[in-house]
Amino acid sequence: MKDFLVNLLGRESVLDEEGALAPYREDYCEAAPSDPSLVAFVTTTDQVQQIVREAARRKVAITPRVAGTNVGGLAISVAGGLILDFTKMNKVQEVNDVDMYAVIEPGVTQKQMKECLRDRGGTLTLGYSLAPPHTSILANALLGGLTNRSLKYGDQSQWISGLEVVLADGTLARTGSWALQNVSPYGQVPFPALTGLFVGWAGTTGLCTKMAFQLWPQHKFNRRLFVLTYTPRGTFEAVRRLVRREFCDDIGGLSWPSAKMMLGVKRPHPEPARGEPTFTLYVDLTADIEEEMALKQRMLNDVLDSVRRENERIEEPLDIRMLLKINPAMSPFAEFPTDLEFLTNHGGGGLSWVGTYGPLSKFETGIDAGTRIMVRHGLAPVIVARPMRGGHYGVLRFVEIFDKESPTETSRVKAVNSELLAMCTQLGFVMYKTPSWAFEILKPGIDPGMLKLMRDVKTLLDPQGIMNPGKLGL
């Protein structure tokens, strides 16, 4: 396979030496490392097609990878497999300012897309995940990741208008309105929604080489406000009331250890000091005229006052610009995309989480149970909770940082994550960006017909099992 790749791509685009392969054998999380035999940098769809055909002929496993910042091992190859690195396949193919969509390749990063839209006049924007600026937009969308516009528009997979996909035999296919020749990728309808065959599948059904996705208007005025709260009930009752009023662009809740870490406390104590806030809400408001912004701030205060009248302690909103003057350490939350270095650069190298989607009505119960689990294991309860898609569901995520060189800490994280997953599942939450270990735990509870359908789809689209094998336990 090496000679084929060198002839196709050039020697400089193929890695096979141990030192060069080392960064590809793991990610941030506790998943066991695995050594690929080769890494190939692709730049065109035709190259991907040729490589897939040859890999199918030789029955070589292929794992797609971009930034490698995913946690859960989804971009870790099986031993001896081939990793296709898409970082150099990074063209913004099209931006349609009138119909508000873009077409991009897998290597296009959040930072790159933001700069592209800014250079075009800044009339459009997209949503940004809390992953670093150098991460892939396409990868986040295919894994159903959230962004700072998910309150309005749902997870990023719901923004996909169409995909260009290389199937396991090298065939190229397009989904959505894009499937009809000379039609723009305005949306998935009215064709059958076959985009779903590649969303949430972690690269096990095909390799996406282009994505068309929706963009959103960039408004003239933008404000990010922080609100300190003191009980989970007060926090999320406020959230539920805010989403019903439909004037916020984004709402996010960060537990007290999250805020402390953001301010430089590397390992917060597992339990809060007496009288400290338990959560920090951040609320994004946008407007095109000053009167509109003033009205939205009045509406925010009205909702907060309604919860205060029920004997809940909630502080007055603080503008991020004022907070930055008091403490510049707040800068990672001033503008997205951002690199939360207190999670990714803490010295131990390890980052893991159990991130789930589920009902807002169960937030307080899940936060209380998850806090008890984490504290019992000696971990500060770093929790992110936020509403999605107009409040129809939300994300509840429990985050751990740890020393990857410590077997004790790694084992503890595995135990904590198993308990958290069991608790969340019992409450009706479903893990997203689901790693293999979690899928195995969830599998007995999945509807048998659904599981059979998934296996049939996987077998149909990847009969030789070369597409990122093992990631969904199918």
> What does the pLDDT look like over 363-403, one tens digit per residue?
999 999 999 999 999 999 999 999 999 999 999 999 999 99
CATH number of 221-431: 3.40.462.10
Residue 274 has pLDDT above 90, yes or no: no
Residue 342 has pLDDT above 90, yes or no: no
Query: What are the structural domain ranges in the chain?
Result: 2-85, 92-217, 221-431
For residue range 215-226, list pLDDT tens digits in order: 999 999 999 999
> What is the H or E stretch that residue 56 is in?
helix 45-58
Distances (CA, A) of 230 to 85, 277, 280, 309, 420: 45, 5, 9, 14, 23
Distance CA(370)–CA(417), nearest Å, equals 10
CB contact burial 367-402 (16+ within 10 A = b; e otherwise): bebbbebbeeeebbbbbbbbbbbebebbbbbbbbbb
For residue range 223-266, list pLDDT tens digits in order: 999 999 999 999 999 999 999 999 999 999 999 998 888 777 87
Residue type, 296: K
- What does residue 205 show for φ and ψ, rounded to 5 degrees? -120, -10
Residue 344 has pLDDT above 80, yes or no: no
Task: Pick one of 3.40.50.170, 3.30.930.10, 3.30.565.10, 3.30.43.10 as the CATH number of 2-85.
Answer: 3.30.43.10
* CATH 3.30.465.10 holds for 92-217: yes
**Averaged over 144-160, what is the pLDDT?**
96
**Averaged over 187-210, what is the pLDDT?**
96
Distance CA(145)–CA(159), nearest Å, equals 11
Residue 45 buriedness (CB in 10 A; 0-12 / 13-18 / 19+): middle
The pLDDT of residue 329 is 76
